[in-house]
Each structure stands twice: as C-alpha cells, then as structure tokens.
C-alpha cells in the first residue's frame, strides 16, 4: 500500500526559478537544476544521507511536479545509494509522481465519506467527459487527476476535490465541471498550491 511522504524540512537554499508552463508540459527535467538543488543537501555519513533522501525527492517533486527516472538516478548518485532504492521510494509514497503533471492538478477524494456521498460518479464523469482516470492527464495537457483513497480532511463538505490551490466541496458533476472550466479560464497552474496537502491514504494504482 502506498503512503504519503511525511512533511519534511523546507528548502535550505536559493533554488533556480520555477520553469515556465511550457517546460512543465515538456515532459523532461533539467538535470543541471536537479544537481543544483542537491548541493543544498550535504551529509556527513551514510545514515545522514539516508535521512535526507525523502526531503530531496519532495523538493524535486514540488519544483517540477514530478520526478523523472534520470532525475532519480542523479539523486541516487548524490546520496551514494542505488537507483532501485530511489525508484522504490517514488512508487511507495502516493504524493510522488513519475510522470509530468498537466497545467492543472486535481486530487479527487475517494475516501469513505466522499465515497458515500458519491465520489464514484465524479470519477466516472472525469473518465467520460475528459477521458482521464487516476494518474492520467488529458490529451491537451490541461489537467492531471489523482484519485485519493484516503481522506483530504474535509469530510463535512464531501464529496470534494482539491484543484490547484483550491478545495471544492459538495461536488456534483456540474460543479466539478465548473471548477475545471474556471481553473483553466483563470490561467493558473498547480504551482498555485504551495502548501503540502495532508492526505491520509493512498492513491489508486
Ligand atoms: S473522505 Fe473525503 S474528505 Fe474525508
């Protein structure tokens, strides 16, 4: 069962500017930027290196929206560990992505309260109208959806989703579509969501 990586310490130094949207959608990660990010993760011994790996992966994941396999290789090299250990972490924790995100990113809650209140019909709506399932991205690159089996922590407004920085509750198919339409029209992206989302659970895979 996948888990969500624990919240870890924030950045320890100045990072390169976020790539622009074209780069977000380009499907590759600048490994020089990854190496620059990793220079802030220094360690004295193997134990300390192991403790920093999750922080580094989270930082890369937040910066680019995902962690590519070449980026994972760079992380492995930096911390003197095997690439397979890094791949294992990336697949174990639900908040790591190994594919690029679209311009907008949705966490659709499919926990018990949301399920009871009809989240399955929302999952179906996303598949029927946008052709996108869990972990998928629409063909135009506008929207990536992640279905969360756990709880997004706002059961009183179930069923709900978090789209970029905003929560949308008591969703119906119509209000879900409105939220997506408005987010796209507003022109922002998943970068609008700076805070870590306290997701208690795993994603469907
Ligand atoms: S189960 Fe969806 S917010 Fe709690």
pLDDT of residue 202: 38
Report the distance separating Cα 185 and Cα 177, nearest Å: 12
Most ligand 1 atoms within 8 A of CB, residue of 106, 109, 200, 203 to mutate: 109
How far, in Å, CA of 74 to CA of 80, rounded?
10
Give the domain 104-200 fold.
Glutaredoxin (3.40.30)
Please give the average per-residue pLDDT across 126-141, as a whole number. 94
pTM: 0.73
The answer, yes or no, to whether residue 6 has pLDDT greater than 60, is no
Tell me which architecture the domain covering 21-92 has in CATH.
Answer: Orthogonal Bundle (1.10)
Nearest ligand 1 atom to alpha carbon 119: 2
Q: What's the rounded Cα separation, in Å, for the pair 167 and 157? A: 10
Question: In this predicted structure, what is the pLDDT of residue 27?
Answer: 67
SS3 25: helix
- Token pair, residue 8, equals 């870890």
Q: Give the position of tokens 């579509």.
A: 177
Q: How far apart are CA 135 and CA 170, in angstroms?
A: 22
State the pairing for strand pair 104-109/143-148. Answer: parallel
Phi, psi torsion values for 189, nearest 5 degrees: -160, 180
Q: What spacing in Å lies between the alpha carbon of 154 and ligand 1's midpoint? A: 6
Chain segment 52-89, per-residue pLDDT in tens: 999 999 999 989 989 999 999 999 999 999 999 999 99
Q: Domain residue spans in the chain?
A: 21-92, 104-200
Q: CA 142, CA 183: separation in Å to the nearest integer? A: 10
Atom in ligand 1 nearest the alpha carbon of residue 159 = 2
């Amino acid at each position: 069962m996948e888990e969500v990586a624990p919240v870890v310490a924030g950045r320890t130094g100045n990072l390169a500017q976020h790539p622009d949207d074209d780069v977000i959608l380009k499907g590759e990660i600048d490994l020089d930027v990854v190496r620059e990010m990793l220079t802030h993760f220094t360690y004295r011994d193997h134990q300390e290196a192991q403790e920093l790996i999750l922080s580094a992966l989270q930082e890369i994941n937040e910066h680019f929206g995902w962690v590519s396999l070449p980026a994972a290789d760079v992380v492995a090299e930096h911390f003197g560990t095997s690439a397979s250990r890094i791949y294992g972490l990336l697949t174990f924790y639900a908040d790591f992505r190994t594919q690029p995100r679209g311009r907008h990113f949705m966490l659709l809650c499919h926990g018990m309260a949301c399920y009871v209140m009809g989240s399955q019909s929302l999952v179906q709506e996303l598949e029927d109208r946008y052709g996108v399932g869990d972990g998928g991205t629409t063909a135009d690159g506008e929207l990536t959806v992640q279905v969360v089996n756990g709880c997004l922590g706002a059961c009183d407004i179930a069923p709900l989703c978090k789209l970029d920085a905003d929560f949308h509750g008591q969703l119906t198919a119509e209000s879900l579509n409105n939220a997506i339409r408005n987010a796209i029209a507003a022109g922002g992206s998943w970068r609008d969501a700076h805070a870590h989302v306290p997701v208690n659970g795993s994603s469907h895979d």
